[in-house]
Amino acid sequence: MTTTGTAIGRGEVLPRIRVGRSRRPRRATPLVAIGIVVAFAVLPAFVDAGLTSKLVDAFVLLTMASMWNLLAGYAGLVSVGQQTFIGLGSYIVLILAQWGLQPYLAVPLAAIGCAALALPLAWLLFRLRGGYFAIATWVVADAVQLVISHFPSLGGGTGAILPGVAGIAPATRLAWTYWSALGVAVAALAVAYLLLRGRLGLVLTAVRDDEVGARSVGARVGWAKRIVFLVAAAGCGAAGALLILSQLNVLATSVFSVQWSAKMIFVTIIGGIGSIEGPIVGTIVYVLLQETLSQFGAWYFIIVGLVAIVVALWSPRGIWGFVASRIHLRPFPVGYWLFVEAEPAGDGGPPPGPEPPAEGDA
């Protein structure tokens, strides 16, 4: 970073700059993260089935929100059609279970299946941009729902029951579902974090700031967006698989409903788009709101929606964005920081201190 002013080479000292991931090397974070996961893993032994069930729902929501955040907050792909993959994930598990596979083993297969189906869809959908891309994802979801509703073996319009779980004791079933959900959520966060720390993350940040500029320096923008689209499809597919495992049945109109997109979008907006921590915060807030407002029945969803709109207008980085800009805490650092280590001589140098990476809106 040069100083402003006329002559460089007038003997001014250029500042020494260090590029790093975080202010202090964070050795504690992985240990803390593992600790939290272990704590959650043993939790069912200490709490009742009701709470365990709610935690399953929370993990599913967290997975979906993380995937949507990856799409919209990093790749700039605003989708209101992720329910396509949620539904497909559920139905892949259903079909595999109908063929005799142990349903819990079908979860990763559902994820992979959805990623595979996402590839041709990406080719089709990427012909549109912005809001038109968004609505097209919704059209696809509606179309897929209509097609699936046509097959009586999949329950037609009235729903289907998941086979292969009748022989398992309810408590065991709940525990397996819980651990599967925890595993999927942790995997989703881990995949997102690792993707963004790598080259892909760099490409995406460049695209977010200036797509044309990114392409002109050779960043493989289309490839990066496709990878994100496939990962998000896989994540939502896994979430859909968890849904059918926890509900034991699936209804096309409900699992392909746009309300799923609404939930994951509201959660991510409230928590904060464009940061790994955002969906986590958003899920916590959403669940708390759900608990405290449950007495108002369906009004709670309206209230959540209004909160999301207000947050989108007045605090576009969400709760986490607001908090993180005040306390310098980055459990999941995916950006780069510039640390200036010497004061430059002369006038008009860059201001001392770290300059936060640009984590702006997509």
Partner 1 sequence: MSTPVPAGSGGAAPPSRPALEVRDLTVHHGQLRAVTSLNLTVEAGEVFAIIGANGAGKSTLLRTIAGLHRPTSGTIWLDGTDISAAAPEERLVAGVALVPEGRRLFPSLSVEENLLVGAHRRRPGPWTIERVYQLFTWMPGRRRQLAAQLSGGEQQAVAIGRALVANPRVLLLDELSLGLAPVVVRQIYALLPELLATGMTILLVEQDVSQAIRIASRVQCLLEGRTTLAGRPADLRPEQIEAAYFGMAAAARR
Partner 2 sequence: MIWIQALIQGLLLGGLYALSACGLSLLYGVMGAINLAHGDLAIIAAYLAIVVIPIFHLPGLLAFLIVVPAFLVFGYLGQRTLIQATLDRGPLTTLLVSFGVSIVLQNLLLQLFSADSHSIDIGSFVAASIQVNDEISIAYLSLGIFVVAVVVLLALQLFLSRTTTGRLIRAVADDREAAQLSGTRYRHVFGIAAALAIGTVALAGLAFGMVSSFGPTSGSTRLLFAFEAVVIGGLGSLWGTLAGGIVLGVAQAIGAAIDPSLGVLAGHVVFLVVLAVRPNGIAGARVTA
Interface residues toward partner 1, by CB under 8 A: 4-7, 10, 348, 355
The option from partner 2, partner 1, none interacting with 130 (CB < 5 to 8 A, set by class) reads partner 2
Work out how close the CB of 294 gets to partner 2 at its nearest, in angstroms, rounded to a whole number.
15
Distance CA 114, CA 133 (A): 19
Binding residue for partner 2 (CB under 8 A) from 13, 34, 146, 358? 146
Integer-rounded Cα radius of gyration of the chain: 23
Asked if 358 touches partner 2 (CB under 8 A), the answer is: no
Q: Is 251 in the site for partner 2 (CB under 8 A)?
A: no
Structure tokens at 10: 């007038």
Q: Which of 321, 312, 333, 246 is nearest to 278 (CA)?
A: 321
Structure tokens at 129: 């941009």
Beta bridge partners of 338: 19, 355
Q: How far is the CB of 33 from partner 2 (least distance, A)?
A: 29
Residue 302 contacts which entry, partner 2, partner 1, none (Cβ below 5-8 A, type-dependent): partner 2
Asked if 154 is part of the footprint of partner 2 (rule: CB under 8 A), the reply reads no
Beta carbons within 8 Å of 1's beta carbon, 6+ residues apart:
15, 17, 338, 350
Show the tokens assigned to 293: 């407002």
Decide if 42 contacts 97 (C-beta within 8 A): no
Chain position carrying tokens 């392409």 = 215
CA distance 266 to 64: 11
The token duo for 95 is 């079909």
Closer residue to partner 1 in complex, CB, 5/222: 5
C-beta of 216 vs 295, nearer to partner 1: 216
**Amino acid code (one letter) for 188:** A
Contact pick of 1, 38, 132, 222 for partner 2 (by CB under 8 A): 132
Structure tokens at 237: 């597919």
CA-nearest of 165, 172, 227, 163 to 199 is 227
Q: Applying CB under 8 A, which part among 51-59, 182-190, 255-263, 345-353 lies near partner 2?
A: 255-263
Binds 128: which of partner 2, partner 1, none (CB < 5-8 Å by kind): partner 2
Least gap, CB of 135 to partner 2 (angstroms): 4
Select from partner 1, partner 2, none the partner in contact with residue 4, using the beta carbon and a kind-dependent cut-off of 5 to 8 Å. Answer: partner 1
Residue type at 133 in one-letter notation = F
Contacting residue, 150, 158, 194, 328, with partner 2 by CB under 8 A: 150
Site for partner 2, rule CB under 8 A: 72, 76, 78, 80, 124, 127-136, 138-140, 142-143, 146-147, 150, 258-259, 261-262, 265-266, 269, 273, 298-299, 301-302, 305-306, 308-309, 312-313, 316, 361-362
